[in-house]
Structure 1
Amino acid sequence: MKWNLPNILTLLRLLAAPGLAVMFLYFHRPYADWFALLLFISAAVTDWFDGYLARTWKQETKMGAMMDPIADKAMVVIALMIIVGYSTEHWTPWLVLPATMILFREVFVSGLREYLGDTAGTLKVTKLAKWKTTTQMIAIAVLFSQGIFEHYIGSSSWSVVWSGRLGLWLLWIAAGLTLITGFDYLRKAMPHLKES
């Protein structure tokens, strides 16, 4: 692996993913929520920053191209697991379905890419997939912040309810984009999946 700044940022983001869960093991709420939110936002910013630097400085590498989507998926999967696990009873049913759709798509597309091997270039990241990732990151950050608001303001507060709804709506939008991009990748992969 070539150790340049974009690759180091990607690796740090990959290592930060399990750190989200560790926050809830070692800290009580709302401190766990605060630390997880700050770690998640920092990682989301490096997602944009490492790609920008790699393109600008012409330091794009195969290792970076491979690790970047893995780091994104790890952050999203672990964050959704925590949010669903720690959500209040009121929101859990509405969180489970979009979280399931997102997790299913991520596993499915990763499996497609692995199966296609060298021909996986046909499944290059699209602009819509980048919007999907951005929407997921924003939704997850808003949902993490809800735990903080609940502690300081109370779960029945108008601002807490609206922050939860905003996060939920964004998560459903992300789930919709997730399904659209998943079907697009499947469509592109179909010619390579036909039996000879």
Structure 2
Amino acid sequence: MKLTVPTMLTLARIVLIPVLVLVFYLPFKWTNFAAAFIFAFASVTDWLDGWIARRYNQFSAFGAFLDPVADKLMVAVALVIVVSVKNGPEAVWMALFSAVIIGREIAVSALREWMAELGERATVKVAAIGKIKTIVQMVALTCLLYQEPFMGLPIYLIGEWLLAVAALLTLWSGLAYLHAAWPILKKDSLNS
């Protein structure tokens, strides 16, 4: 197996997951900045590995498999650690938004796998709404990890609102995937 630059960037994202968790829970004042930086850096490498793969034709089957796995793991872990430090009514909303996001990722991954088995993987390709959802989600999580006001801006509150928007976009994009796959799902259920 040849390791391309995009695949190495994807592997770096996976390696950063335990680093993110460790840094987030360290008892120092700077850890919120460091955790937000690690997550933001990982988010940029997600964009960068795709750009390099397309620009320099560095595609690989392993990279195509690993990239969405790394993304989903990083987001799921960030959501879990952000929710883990909340209490009260705020925690309920954060947990609900996180469950929507993680649940959609699991459902869409399963849908894609099943569609691939039917030879219809292209039917459920990534749409523009999914890309917008990802950007909003990454910015929201970076804000939630940072937690502190910045230049008078309530960064954490901005992160909470963006996470709510990301959860709505998540539902929208999940329904778009289901809508795209519905004719195949319906046809397959009629043949059963």
**Shorter-chain TM band:** 0.7 to 0.9
CA distance in 2: counterparts of 1:29 and 1:132, whole angstroms: 32
CA distance in 1: counterparts of 2:180 and 2:55, whole angstroms: 29
State the match for 1:68 in structure 2. 67
1:171 equivalent among 144, 163, 169? 163
5 Å-filtered alignment, 1:123-138, equals 123-138=124-139
Question: Unpaired segments of 5 or more residues in structure 2?
Answer: none
RMSD across aligned positions (CA): 2.1
Alignment size in residue pairs: 186
Structure 1 runs of 4+ with >4 Å offset: none
Amino acid in the other structure paired with 2:155: S
What do residues 35-74 of structure 1 show as CA deviations (whole Å, max 9, x unaligned)?
A: 3212111101101111111111111222222211111111
CA distance in 2: counterparts of 1:35 and 1:60, whole angstroms: 31
State the match for 1:97 in structure 2. 96
Counterparts in 2 of 1:94 and 1:159: CA distance versus 1, 3 Å: farther
Counterparts in 2 of 1:172 and 1:122: CA distance versus 1, 3 Å: same
State the match for 2:19 in structure 1. 19
Amino acid in the other structure paired with 2:174: G
Question: Unpaired segments of 5 or more residues in structure 1?
Answer: none
In the superposition, the TM-score normalised over structure 2's length comes to 0.87
CA distance in 2: counterparts of 1:16 and 1:188, whole angstroms: 34
CA distance in 2: counterparts of 1:5 and 1:143, whole angstroms: 30
In the superposition, the TM-score normalised over structure 1's length comes to 0.85
Amino acid in the other structure paired with 2:12: L
Q: Secondary structure at the match of 2:120?
A: helix
Offset of residue 20 of structure 1: 1.9
Counterparts in 2 of 1:2 and 1:128: CA distance versus 1, 3 Å: farther
Identity %: 38
- Which stretch of structure 1 is more off in the superposition, 126-135 or 28-37? 28-37
State the match for 2:172 in structure 1. 180
State the match for 2:7 in structure 1. 7
Amino acid in the other structure paired with 1:121: A
CA distance in 2: counterparts of 1:18 and 1:185, whole angstroms: 31
State the match for 1:85 in structure 2. 84
CA distance in 2: counterparts of 1:94 and 1:164, whole angstroms: 14
State the match for 1:144 in structure 2. 145
Offset of residue 32 of structure 1: 3.4
CA distance in 1: counterparts of 2:30 and 2:75, whole angstroms: 20
5 Å-filtered alignment, 1:28-67, equals 28-67=27-66
Counterparts in 2 of 1:192 and 1:17: CA distance versus 1, 3 Å: farther
